[in-house]
Structure 1
């Protein structure tokens, strides 16, 4: 009979390793890694429980139905309005996206990358960028369809005509709630993956964007949200698509895709978005009279309905059916929100935190034969940041991160940051995956 040997470990190592009578020490799975490995099962289990309650107990359907269907439908007018039950639908969206993302990355994108001859690290990156391309291209196409078939197509001044009327179509409501659910799901993702150097920048980006979109939804700025999301989402799938071309070895196509990305970025985020921002000053005073409006009818009921204080901004959150005020302060708040988002986007993209911005807190040595569920351990929405791909070549595989269960860690004292020269064109192309410029 083999005799078990007890190994004394320092306190920080007690939760990381366990003794084994038949082999070397094995790394114990942490709670975070367990959640990552069981994302599909957790999401599907919760969905199954809700469906069981919904079908087996009819008396509970008023409480379970908001998880599966859009709420607040007016059959007489054939439209929807917003309400607090929409929170349950957003919760379901978060669960669904989490499961779909894990399935797409683990079962489709990662195996496809393997069959294309990519090594494990390349498969992980391919799966990350592939999921972003799938989601953003689909949601952008839907948003563009809604914008194209609206009365405000390429007419920013018309965005302010029907405010603050609450009715919206079912497709528009679904679109906005899915976008909000995706942002919240990304907050969850960056907490279950191993922390990266830009963790807090991306966390603040997702939180601020979620607050802005939910506030616009409560205030009834559906049309503005639709246009802004269309302008933002288009570049969020063009950049990952360029990286996918690089991973597959189509370098000339990658260069062309990156050029399209840069041109689209300038057009949408530096021109059209500024035109929309300028419309607040140019068109809002003429199209939206200052005063207090009725949420039910959208009519102006008073030119000075509330005390002039900052507290009135939170009134729509307290009573969705109550009156809503429009004052000059609203425009100032819109400018503040715009500046916050623009500064975050500019800082991440232009390299203020550009030294290997999406790598781990610590360097690691990777094993190329890691488990195939590795991509889910790494992936997270990058917002407007540009992940470094050139650093994979500069530092070599022995200094890059891995999240797979087969990784072998080599922890060092330093963080191993690699400075990024903004004047180096080749380095710039390398950061987005096009390290062979034409």
Structure 2
């Protein structure tokens, strides 16, 4: 029995320790680890590619497509499509992940805290600040391309050069970078804490990426440029209004919100339907139905239906093969664009409800007051670069002077009986640029 005493004593000590009041450490999941290390993971991948590119010259034909546009045609001074474009999109998506995390964690959030915003408000500001930076650049860049094109404000001219595969370097980079951004958004919403509208946003990002990639493969460069410009200008104004709200510039916030509404109406419900009408009316007139050569862009057959379904995938299967245009293809793209218009109408209805509240009170207030920062538990904070709660939501409502803090359910959007008074703008337009 004497030999058993030491082990018995150890057992008792372990029991005492295990029944203590020390909190047990929560095991980090793989998803949380990825979120916490977005910067390191992204920069490591890019650094490895750069190292291989510079240290092993024999491998540069395989690494160059990750860092520069491929398929330049010196004789024509344009670029064409090719499978190596996929590598550029992938590396750009990784770069967006790093840039977003660096901007939020190292620049925007410290700036907000230095300016006096509380913890939760600083997270919200950082998220919206990143969206503002992205759309400010790409909206300006896209408008520059459109305004210097032959189809500026002439929707019927968009279809003149189809199915020519040549595209300028600026337009190719613009389209591939936009596609990379939305692929990166698919990654973000799946690794960060899932929100109530996860599947809605996931579906939206999938459709957006599919539209951009399909339009690129079908050489619909010009219409992609126009659609993105019409959407991005709205997506720039909404983060602007939110940022002004966080810094309590009420008048400027309300003026920006009014500009946001007018711009939304003009771009998404006047100009965008005109573009859809141009697809319906002008495509048959400017694009003769039939099949064209993928290399010379010359018509090789007046029959737009060489088979039942395979011709729809000709451009995907062989970029140098034939590309066909017929009523089915026209209606596939048109139907998807019209579906986005239906969604925009639903969102605009929510915007009008917000406007009614602003006109009644003359003031806009975020119901998640900064006082909530002190009462929210740590699980509602931010994990690494990604806030768990939906910090992009702005609620515009009547200010009654009450300082009562109402309990929130992680800032999720509710569209039930409270939708008349609470129109949350975080998911209106801001995450739906196309």
Please give the TM-score of this superposition, normalised by the length of structure 1. 0.82
Distance 1:227 1:379, change over 3 A: farther
Q: Quick check: 2:78–2:169 contact (8 Å CA) kept in 1? A: yes
- Tell me the SS of whatever aligns to 1:95: helix
Matches within 5 A, 1:46-195: 46-195=45-194
Cα offset, 1:178, TM superposition: 0.4
> Which residue of 2 is the match for residue 366 of structure 1?
376
Q: Quick check: 1:232–1:268 contact (8 Å CA) kept in 2? A: yes
CA–CA separation in structure 2 for the residues paired with 1:369 and 1:75: 56
- Tell me the SS of whatever aligns to 1:399: coil
Q: Deviations over 1:89-122 (max 9, x none)?
A: 0011111000000000001111111122221111
Q: Quick check: 1:129–1:240 contact (8 Å CA) kept in 2? A: yes
- Tell me the SS of whatever aligns to 2:387: helix
Cα offset, 1:311, TM superposition: 2.7
Note the residue ranges of structure 1 that are not aligned, 5 or more in a row: 8-18, 403-414, 434-438
- Tell me the SS of whatever aligns to 2:233: helix
Distance 1:68 1:177, change over 3 A: same
> Which residue of 2 is the match for residue 282 of structure 1?
281
CA–CA separation in structure 2 for the residues paired with 1:266 and 1:209: 21
Q: Deviations over 1:313-344 (max 9, x none)?
A: 11110011111111122221122112332334
Distance 1:35 1:396, change over 3 A: farther
Which structure has the highest helix share of the two? Answer: 2
Q: Quick check: 1:292–1:323 contact (8 Å CA) kept in 2? A: yes
CA–CA separation in structure 1 for the residues paired with 2:206 and 2:53: 32
Question: Which residue of the other structure, out of 376, 381, 388, is the alignment partner of 2:386?
Answer: 376
Question: Which residue of the other structure, out of 402, 405, 408, is the alignment partner of 1:399?
Answer: 408
Q: Which protein has the larger Cα radius of gyration, Structure 1 or Structure 2?
A: 2
> Which residue of 1 is the match for residue 300 of structure 2?
301
CA–CA separation in structure 2 for the residues paired with 1:39 and 1:20: 37
CA–CA separation in structure 2 for the residues paired with 1:171 and 1:379: 37
Matches within 5 A, 1:321-400: 321-347=320-346, 350=349, 366-367=376-377, 376-378=386-388, 387-389=393-395, 396=405, 398-400=407-409
Cα offset, 1:218, TM superposition: 0.1
Distance 1:146 1:273, change over 3 A: same
**CA RMSD in angstroms, aligned pairs only:** 3.3
CA–CA separation in structure 1 for the residues paired with 2:166 and 2:233: 27
Shift >6 Å, 4+ stretches: 19-22, 368-373, 379-382
Please give the TM-score of this superposition, normalised by the length of structure 2. 0.82
Cα offset, 1:164, TM superposition: 0.1
Note the residue ranges of structure 2 that are not aligned, 5 or more in a row: 1-9, 354-367, 428-434
CA–CA separation in structure 1 for the residues paired with 2:404 and 2:221: 46
Distance 1:22 1:55, change over 3 A: farther
